[in-house]
Structure 1
Amino acid sequence: MKKFRMDHRNARKIMWVFYGAGFLLLLLGMIGPQAMILTAVGVALILVGGVIVLLFWRCPHCGMGLPTREGNIQYCPHCGGKL
């Protein structure tokens, strides 16, 4: 079994899971009876996803943050290392 390692690829996948779950809870919070609880949990999940990206969306070679607007980058814009 392969060991899980948090790197820039896994961080982006996990971020989208947290964002998706957070937005789903925000939508359910608009129509559900426990609106405040669902909304608070949704916002917390979105914030956790953002923190994960800030901490781990980095180049494995130089450690600099990777651009967030470019989806599938092949090389680090800072050091030129292959991602």
Structure 2
Amino acid sequence: MKRSGGDAGRPMRHYSIGQLEENVTRCTTDNDELQLVLAELGYRKTNRATELKDLVKRLIDTNRRARIAAIGPLFRNF
């Protein structure tokens, strides 16, 4: 099966690793943006990309935990 090869699958494929790092620095609490970066890093195999991928995973986890902690008190009386 031939794939279409459109841009939708890798919207950040044209970003350099430096640009991806800057994007992560700018968007540390935006999990949607971090997920896009993480998806792109899945295609990259350099040490720098692997280190950034680990950082992005930690940021996503931290953001999820913060969101859960923020809504936890809403369910205290249930």
Whether TM-score is above 0.5 comes out as no
TM-score range, shorter chain: 0.3 to 0.5
TM-score when scaled to structure 1? 0.42
- Higher fraction of helix: 2
TM-score when scaled to structure 2? 0.44
